[in-house]
C-alpha cells in the first residue's frame, strides 16, 4: 500500500530554492515538466496524474471517501507546514500563483461529476482539463506567469 507523504503533495522537488524565487517561480519550476518555459497541458496532466496516483492509496483507480479525507488532511498539513497556512510563500500559493486554486479543485465537489462519492481516474482527467482551461486566462494553451498577472 502507498502512503501519501507531505513532501510531494503538489510541488515535489526543490522547494527551498524555489521558495526564494517566489510562488510563481516555484510553480513554473515544478510543473514545467519539459522545461519549455511554459506549463503545457501535457505537463499539467503529468503532475496531476502524479497527484491522483499518490492519493489512490488502494490503487483501485479511484479516490474514495476515505482517500479523499486523507487527501484533504495531507493538503491542509502541507500548506500549514510549508507555507504558514497558505500565506503566499511558495508552491504558487497566493500572491498570484495557482497553488490555492489547484488545492481547491482537489475535492469531490470539483471532480466527482457523477456524484457517486468517488473520484475516478476519468473524472480526475476531466477535472484536470477543466482546471487547465480555467487557469489559462490567455487561452494560448500554455500556463505562464502572464496567466497569473506576472
Residue 24 · residue 96 · CB < 8 Å: yes
Contact 30, 143 (CB under 8 A): no
Model confidence at 25, pLDDT cuts 50, 70, 90, reads confident
Give the global pTM: 0.77
The predicted pLDDT at position 82 comes to: 59
Question: What are the Cα distances from residue 133, in Å, to 69, 93, 94, 141?
Answer: 26, 19, 19, 8
Average of per-residue pLDDT across 86-96 = 45
Percentage of the chain lying above the pLDDT 70 cut: 75
How many secondary structure helices (H) and strands (E) does the chain include? Answer: 7, 4
Which residue, chain included where needed, has cell 497566493? 94
| Across 129-143, average pLDDT | 95
The domains found in the chain, sorted by start residue, are 41-148 (1.10.238)
Amino acid at each position: 500500500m502507498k502512503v501519501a507523504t507531505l513532501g510531494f503533495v503538489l510541488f515535489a522537488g526543490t522547494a527551498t530554492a524555489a521558495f526564494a524565487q517566489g510562488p510563481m517561480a516555484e510553480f513554473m519550476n515544478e510543473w514545467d515538466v519539459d522545461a519549455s518555459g511554459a506549463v503545457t497541458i501535457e505537463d499539467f496532466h503529468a503532475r496531476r496524474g502524479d497527484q491522483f496516483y499518490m492519493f489512490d492509496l488502494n490503487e483501485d483507480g479511484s479516490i474514495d471517501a476515505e482517500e479523499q479525507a486523507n487527501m484533504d488532511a495531507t493538503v491542509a498539513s502541507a500548506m500549514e507546514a510549508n507555507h504558514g497556512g497558505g500565506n503566499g510563500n511558495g508552491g504558487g500559493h497566493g500572491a498570484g500563483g495557482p497553488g490555492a486554486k489547484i488545492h481547491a479543485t482537489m475535492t469531490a465537489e470539483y471532480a466527482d461529476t457523477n456524484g457517486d462519492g468517488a473520484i475516478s481516474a476519468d473524472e480526475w482527467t476531466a477535472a484536470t482539463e477543466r482546471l487547465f482551461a480555467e487557469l489559462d486566462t490567455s487561452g494560448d494553451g500554455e500556463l505562464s506567469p502572464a496567466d497569473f498577472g506576472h
